[in-house]
Amino acid sequence: MAEITAATVGKLREMTNAGMMDCKKALVEAGGDTEKAVEILRKKGQATAAKKAVREAKEGVIAQHIAPGGRLGVLIEVNCETDFVARCDEFREFCKDICLQVCSAAPRWVKQEDVPEEAIEAERQIYLAQAKQMGKPEKVLDKIVDGMLKKWFKDVCLLEQEFVKDKDKTIEELMKELSGKLGEKIVIRRFERFLFFS
């Protein structure tokens, strides 16, 4: 068996962004083979999304869902890094789940950074007026408003919503879990929700 040196462990850590002990265990399991160790870490989902953040997700799918009755439809774009992952069952299943989420939970934006400043300010003014009506002291108003805004973001931002199939996970956690499992950056790029009014 090949000797596991600190340099080898360091190199694997740089490649995967996994913890030192995880890298060492993977190298031992792989008999010192760095490429096999990378595969082991990817399978275990320990090569974190942080390293993937700089990579580009240029592949992916446009998925759709029409709710029973045909009065509500959803289109989403979910990106990944390779065509191979875009065609795999787990990725496709994730896309279906995101369609269902958008259909059921009606988010308005993908992430907090997408929310226009004027929408945030409008909500802030509403919450400020509500807090004042409740007779809250002036010094705690900002804290109360910030708390209400945080809750609002969880309602209107897809990534912050609780997953409709598992309330213990947010959509962002679900996405990161899949990213770790598949070893690629996964990005929910955009969505559109169509509601038919008669």
Surface-to-core class of residue 54, CB atoms within 10 Å of its CB (0-12 exposed, 13-18 middle, 19+ buried):
exposed
A 10 A CB-CB count for 56 gives 10
- Domain borders along the chain are 6-47, 59-111+157-195, 116-155
CATH homologous superfamily of 6-47: Ubiquitin-associated (UBA) domain (1.10.8.10)
CB atoms within 10 A of CB 122: 11
What HEC string does 85-123 produce? Answer: HHCCHHHHHHHHHHHHHHHHHCCCECCHHHCCHHHHHHH
pTM of the model: 0.69
Name the CA dihedral angle for 77, 80, 81, 85, rounded to a multiple of 10 degrees.
Answer: -120
Q: Cα separation of 91 and 80, whole Å?
A: 9
CATH top-level class of 116-155:
mainly alpha
Top-level CATH class of 59-111+157-195?
alpha beta
H or E segment and range at residue 23: helix 20-29
Give the pLDDT band (50/70/90) at residue 189. very high
Q: What is the mean pLDDT of residues 146-156?
A: 94
On the question of a common fold for 6-47 and 59-111+157-195, the answer reads: no
Chain segment 159-183, per-residue pLDDT in tens: 999 999 999 999 999 999 999 888 8
Residue 42: pLDDT over 80: no
- Reported as a pLDDT band with limits 50, 70 and 90, residue 60 is confident
pLDDT tens digits, one per residue of 2-39: 678 888 888 887 777 677 788 888 888 888 888 888 88
Whether 131 shows a pLDDT value over 90: the answer reads: no
Q: In this predicted structure, what is the pLDDT of residue 47?
A: 46
1 against 155, higher pLDDT: 155
- pLDDT for residue 46: 47
